[in-house]
Amino acid sequence: MSFDDEVRQRIEANAKDRALCEAASKFMHASTQPKYSYNFAWMGRPLIQYPQDIVAMHEILWRTQPDLVIETGIAHGGSLIFSASMLELNAICGGPANARVLGIDIDIRAHNRAAIEAHPMARRIHMMQGSSIAAETIAAVRQFAAGSRNILVCLDSNHTHDHVLAELEAYAPLTSVGNYCVVFDTVVEDLAGQKWADRPWGPGNNPKTAVWKYLETHPEFQIDKSVHQKLLISVAPDGYLLRVK
């Protein structure tokens, strides 16, 4: 049996391990309010992600070799830096030489923009300021993406159902067959009882409910359950959407 076969068997077994899955769920519930995900950075920029999802994204970026990554939500820029650095490694190893990352945010703070533009990975990064669901932004993104042959999409901005559904309608179609549209923070649906302060989202109104709605009419995408079965701890259960046709 090959090592890869052993890995697949372990992942399948872990997904059926009730005690392990319950422990992972308890950790997600316990770690959300203390803002555990805010403690990590990538090459000096705050990333605001769980380490498990960071590793999953690395594996996807290596396996799919995109020449364009589209990301909604910039914050401190750590995710843009992460994607750009992975594309840089891909290029060094023979992947697309001129692969780029496009980041979209309704409000790119001046100090964050300056830090991103000063970063060694900045040459692979382009930023657009504007609402990700505004018609003019969508048109600009589609124009920017024209000519790209292999596109990966990541949605991580406003987490309400309506906003994420609108982002899916706008950007998921840009995803290349065989690549992913990753919808972050679908875990909100699973965190009943959590306090969301002044946030407008929560159980029943979040990225996961938007994913479920979108998939009702878009069979070209399937939830890649194997990603969450591997991670167990993730902010994106049911959020790794593989385009199959």
State the pLDDT confidence band at 92, using cuts at 50, 70 and 90: very high
Domains, in order of start, for the chain: 3-243 (3.40.50.150)
Tokens of 127: 């930023």
Query: How many CA within 13 A on the CB side of residue 30?
Result: 7
pLDDT in tens, 127-157: 999 999 999 999 999 999 999 999 999 999 9
- Which tens digit of pLDDT belongs to each residue from 35-77? 999 999 999 999 999 999 999 999 999 999 999 999 999 999 9
How far is Cα 35 from Cα 108, in angstroms, rounded to an integer?
A: 22
Q: Place 194 in a pLDDT band, splitting at 50, 70 and 90.
A: confident
Give pLDDT, residue 199.
81
C-alpha 172 chain-centroid distance = 12
Query: What separation in angstroms does the CA of 187 have from each of 140, 179, 232?
Result: 30, 22, 11
φ/ψ of 214, rounded to 5, equals: -60, -40
Q: What is the pLDDT of residues 100-120, one digit of tens each?
A: 999 999 999 999 999 999 999
- Which two three-digit tokens encode residue 100? 């780029």
pLDDT band at 196 (very low <50, low <70, confident <90, very high): low
Q: What is the CA radius of gyration of the chain?
A: 17
**pLDDT over 70, % of the chain:** 99
